[in-house]
A = this chain, B = another copy of it.
Amino acid sequence: MTGLREYLDGPYKSARDVVRAGLAAHADLLDAGLRLPRDEYRDQVLEKLRLIAADGHPSRGFRKEYGGQADLGGFIAGFEALAFGDLSLMVKAGVQFGLFAGAILHLGTTQHHDEYLSDAIEGRLLGCFAMTETGHGSNVQALGTTATYDEQTGEFVIHTPTPGARKDYIGNAARHGTLAAVFAQLVVGGESHGVHCLLVPIRDADGDPMPGVTISDCGPKLGLNGVDNGRLVFDQVRVPRTALLDRYAQVDAEGTYRSEIENPDRRFFTMLGTLVQGRVSVGGAAINASKVALTIAIRYADQRRQFGAPGSSEETLLLDYRMHQRRLLPLLAKTYALHFAQAELVDEFVRVFGNDADEHDRRALEAQAAGTKAVGTWHATETIQVCREACGGAGYLAENRLAALKADTDVFTTFEGDNTVLLQLVAKGLLTGYRESFGKLDPLGTARFIAAQAVEIAVEKTALRAMIERLRDAVPNRSDVADPDAGLRDDGYHDGMLRFREEHMLAGVARRLKAGIDAGDEPFEVFNRCQDHVIAAGRAHVDRVVLEAFSAAVQAAPEGEPRDRLKELYDLHALATIEADRAWYIEHGRLSGPRSKAITALVNELCALVRPHAGGLVDAFGVPGAAVDVPMVVPSQHE
Contact = CB atoms under 8 A, between A and B. Distances in A.
Interface in A278-330: 306-310, 315-316, 320-323, 326
Interface string A550-578: 00000000000000000000000000000
Contacts of A523: 309
A142 B306 CA distance: 9
A606 to B, nearest CB: 13
B531 A321 contact: yes
A220 interface: yes
A168 interface: yes
Given A396-B221, A529-B322, A406 B410 contact: yes
B222 A403 contact: yes
A415 interface: yes
A138 B587 contact: no
Contact of A410 (B306, B320, B381, B388): B388
Interface in A164-183: 168-169
Contacts of A587: 582, 586, 593, 596-597
Contacts of A316: 524
Interface stretch (A13-21, A440-448, A492-500): A440-448
A307, A410, A418, A597 pick with most chain B CB within 10 angstroms? A307
A309, A398, A420, A530 pick with most chain B CB within 10 angstroms? A309
Interface residues of A, number: 74
Contacts of A397: 169, 218-222
Interface in A509-537: 522-524, 528-532, 535
Interface in A337-395: 381, 385, 388-389, 392-393, 395
Contacts of A406: 222, 410
Nearest to A604: B532
Nearest to A390: B420
B410 A139 contact: no
A413 interface: yes
Contact of A586 (B218, B220, B420, B593): B593
Interface string A410-424: 110111001110000
Contacts of A410: 388, 396, 406
B221 A398 contact: yes
Contact of A443 (B218, B219, B307, B388): B307
B138 A221 contact: no
A396 B171 CA distance: 14
Nearest to A220: B398
Contacts of A420: 323
B441 A531 contact: no
Interface in A142-162: 142
A306 B137 contact: yes
Contact of A532 (B169, B307, B326, B441): B326
B139 A306 contact: yes
A486 interface: no
A588 interface: yes
A118 interface: no
A411 B385 contact: no
Contacts of A306: 136-139
A359 B236 CA distance: 77
A586 B523 CA distance: 35
A392 B444 contact: no
B219 A407 contact: no
Nearest to A536: B323
A307 B442 contact: yes
Contacts of A320: 528
Contact of A393 (B169, B308, B321, B403): B169
B444 A308 contact: yes
Contacts of A432: none
A391 to B, nearest CB: 9
A389 B407 contact: no
Nearest to A582: B583
Interface of A: 34, 132, 136-139, 142, 168-169, 218-223, 306-310, 315-316, 320-323, 326, 381, 385, 388-389, 392-393, 395-399, 402-403, 406-407, 410-411, 413-415, 418-420, 441-445, 522-524, 528-532, 535, 582-583, 586-589, 593, 596-597, 604
13 contacts: A220-B397, A220-B398, A221-B397, A222-B388, A222-B407, A223-B396, A308-B444, A321-B531, A323-B531, A323-B532, A385-B385, A396-B411, A583-B596
Sorted nearest first, the 7 A-B pairs with minimum C-beta distance are: A222-B403, A583-B583, A220-B398, A587-B593, A322-B531, A309-B444, A396-B411
Given A221-B397, A588-B593, 10 more contacts: A221-B403, A308-B442, A308-B444, A309-B444, A322-B528, A322-B529, A323-B532, A392-B414, A583-B586, A586-B587
